[in-house]
Structure 1
Amino acid sequence: MMKPTDSEMEILQILWEKGESSVRNVHEQLDKKDVGYTTTLKLMQIMHDKAMVSRDSSAKTHLYKALLSKEQTQHQFLDKMIDAVYNGSTARLVMQALGNERASKEEIDLIKAYLKNLENT
């Protein structure tokens, strides 16, 4: 599976959230104010060449759609991070994440329910 760059991930995030979009729409959603429209266009053309996005060119304004699954891409990045940063230990990742005290009570309850479900299967 293709590993998107940071810039490509930003574009994919927009396409996953908004759905099919023009370059102009994606460009306006990007947080980077110093990046020009032509840079966004070139990145999306490269992503099309890499088969990360499809392009509907039947109208004057081309529309792009993500071809990479959000879930698969997240899973790939998570696996790589667990291997690289936590020596393959999912437990270390979870303990580190929960140790940062960012998890809300609702999130902790969801995690507990998920763990209980794993134990019962």
Structure 2
Amino acid sequence: MKELTKAEEEIMQVLWQLERAFVRDIREQLPEPKPAYNTVSTIVRILENKGFVGHDAFGKSHQYYPLIAQDKYKSFFLKNFMSGYFSGSFEKLVSFFAKDNNLNVQELDQLMQHVKANLDEEDPDDGSNA
């Protein structure tokens, strides 16, 4: 999987939200100033070539849909981001945000409790049933 450009990601965000859309539908959801129809169409075709988007043909029109789930891309992006900026270390990432946002010990504790709760939800069988 390749990392998306900012313009490609903006189009994908719309497609993930709409699930299926024609170029005009995608363009309507983009913020002002809206890019030209041809620009959106070109970006969608690039996304299709990269394997992010598929389409169904209706005559000369194409309805596009995501081939990559948003969560899958989010996970890919975060792993790349962490390896590129924090040597793949979650601890370094949290430390950076703690320093950059002046988090106190209580806020850090709440953050860690939130992370732990999310991990517990993802893996309800923690081995205690053995």
- Name the TM-score class by shorter chain: 0.7 to 0.9
Count residues with an aligned counterpart. 115
Which entry has the higher C-alpha Rg, 1 or 2?
2
1:79 Cα offset (Å): 0.8
The TM-score with structure 2 as length reference comes to: 0.73
1:59 Cα offset (Å): 4.7
Matched AA of 2:51: A
Q: Specify every segment of 5 or more residues in structure 2 that has no aligned partner in the other structure, as ranges.
A: none
1:82 Cα offset (Å): 0.7
| CA shift digits 1:5-64 (9 cap, x unpaired) | 221111111111111011011112122515211100111122222221111112554210
Contact kept, 8 Å, 2:27 with 2:34, in 1: the verdict is: no
Aligned to 1:38: 38
Question: What SS is found at the alignment partner of 1:65?
Answer: strand
Question: How many Å separate the matches in 2 of 1:87 and 1:52?
Answer: 27
Matched AA of 2:95: M
Question: How many Å separate the matches in 2 of 1:13 and 1:92?
Answer: 28
Question: How many Å separate the matches in 1 of 2:85 and 2:91?
Answer: 12
Does 2:27 match 1:23? no
Aligned to 1:62: 62
Q: Specify every segment of 5 or more residues in structure 1 that has no aligned partner in the other structure, as ranges.
A: none
CA RMSD of aligned residues (A): 2.6
The TM-score with structure 1 as length reference comes to: 0.77
